[in-house]
Structure 1
Amino acid sequence: MKEENTFTKLKNYAKKLKQNLFVLYLSYKDNRTPWYAKAVAICVVAYAFSPIDLIPDFIPILGYLDDLILVPMGIALALKLIPAEVIEANRAAAEEMKKNQKPKNWFVGILFILVWILLAVWLYRLAIKLFY
């Protein structure tokens, strides 16, 4: 029961952090945001809005690692790097944006598909070398 409670708390914390994705997206476009914060923010936003995960959800336990750990950690890091006044200035616009649309990043999705295809080809070639 305690494990379930911890899992629920972690899930709720991750959901709360994910609400800041639109803030990160708008902060990335803001000229007051330092370049290194922009780099982290755009990577996190691109991955979070990608229709495909790096680790597919159907893989037990590992499939949810990105949703519960990697994305929230990236969001938290990006929020720490972006100046507070930029974040506050973009919160209202982010709420409006969230109501109207949820962007998808098909480029990152295609990139992840290519990574999985290359991994499958590599594993196939490795298996051929080992068994033949």
Structure 2
Amino acid sequence: MKDTFFYLSTCDTCKRIMTELDLPREIRLQDIKTEPLTREQLKELKDLAGSFEALFSKRARLFKERNLRDKNLDESDFRDLLLEHYTFLKRPVLVVSGKIFIGNARNTVAAAREYLQR
């Protein structure tokens, strides 16, 4: 997979992190709202992350609206939901040199910054 930053252009947190990371020009920016994840991209992200669940945001509005917390979701459910709607992706996701950084936790962003500065 090409080095890519998956984000939502309407998300202030994603924009802040993008600025904070000072991404190199060769990293492709993909706004998941205007350019949704393909099935192949999602499979590659899953291979890097270890599971579809690791890529899944349980804080998404649709997760709450559909009462998905009460359901016993498996990997195929997470995959299908991630392909169905962009809000289910835990954002942002940075893939660089075969390494993946998922989400906006302070330690994840710090690890991505450190990795990019090496």
Counting strand residues as a fraction of each chain, which structure ranks higher?
2
TM range (shorter): under 0.3
Taking structure 2 as the reference length, the TM-score comes to: 0.24
Q: Between Structure 1 and Structure 2, whose CA radius of gyration is higher? A: 1
Taking structure 1 as the reference length, the TM-score comes to: 0.22
